[in-house]
Amino acid sequence: MKPQDLQYTLDWIAIRELVAEYGQAIDFGKDTGDWSRWVNVFTPQVTADYSRLFEGEPVTMAREQMAQVGGNALAAFSRVQHATANTVRTHFKGDTEAQVMAYADVGHFFSLGGVPQEWTVVIRYTHDLEKTPEGWRIRRVMLDPIHFRGNPLGLDLVKGKRLV
């Protein structure tokens, strides 16, 4: 695939849209309880590598299980906001495989004793993509936290700690 090809341009646009949808679909899932948009950004089997935030090992699962992963991680927050800054790099590995890196500021909002709180994490996502009959989908996602700001209790909440 060459950069001047029309297909290259169409794929590049589709990949940028997919990366934006990844974050927007999480926000939509948290706001509405409908995680189907987020589930649909993945291939039928997806590897989620959140080990740099949660520790442990990458996990491969059916994409439908990702709804539970997202719902559980965000249960303690009233809202979240993914501001995907840009696609840092798209590397095509062929006509049906690519890797893309993108940065995002992810705000997590919660209340502590009736006082609004915010915890934000700056993340670099690395997505391994596959072009499927459904279009480009994420086969593997790696979340690499770069910086945290705001109330540090947010990190404990995303890891499963709950306020009484």
Q: What is the per-residue pLDDT across 121-153, written as a single tens digit (0 to 9) for each?
A: 999 999 999 999 999 999 999 999 999 999 999
Distance CA 102, CA 115 (A): 32
> For 22-32, how does the pLDDT look when each residue is reduced to its tens digit (9 = 90+)?
999 999 999 99
Q: Which residues pair with 97 in a beta bridge?
A: 130
Per residue in 21-71, pLDDT (tens digit) is 999 999 999 999 999 999 999 999 999 999 998 888 999 999 999 999 999
Q: Give the whole-angstrom CA distance, residue 122 versus residue 106.
A: 6
Cα 37 to Cα 155: distance, rounded to the nearest angstrom:
25
This prediction has a pTM of: 0.91
Q: How confident is the model at residue 160 (pLDDT cuts 50, 70, 90)?
A: confident
**Whole-number Å distance between alpha carbons of 146 and 111:** 24
SS3 assignment, position 1: coil
Kindly state the DSSP code that residue 35 receives in the 8-state scheme: -
pLDDT category at 89 given cuts 50, 70, 90 is confident
- Say what percent of the chain tops pLDDT 90: 83
Q: What is the pLDDT of residue 87?
A: 62
pLDDT at 93: 95
DSSP per residue, 47-114? EEE-HHHH-S--EEEEGGGHHHHHHHHTTT-SEEEEEEEEEEEEEE-SSSEEEEEEEEEEEEEEEETT
- Collapsed DSSP state (helix, strand, coil) of residue 30: helix
In the structure, how many helices (H) and strands (E) does the chain have? 5, 6
Q: Which residues on adjacent β-strands are paired with residue 92?
A: 98
Question: How far apart are the C-alpha atoms of 149 and 143, rounded to whole Å?
Answer: 17
Distance CA(85)–CA(122), nearest Å, equals 10
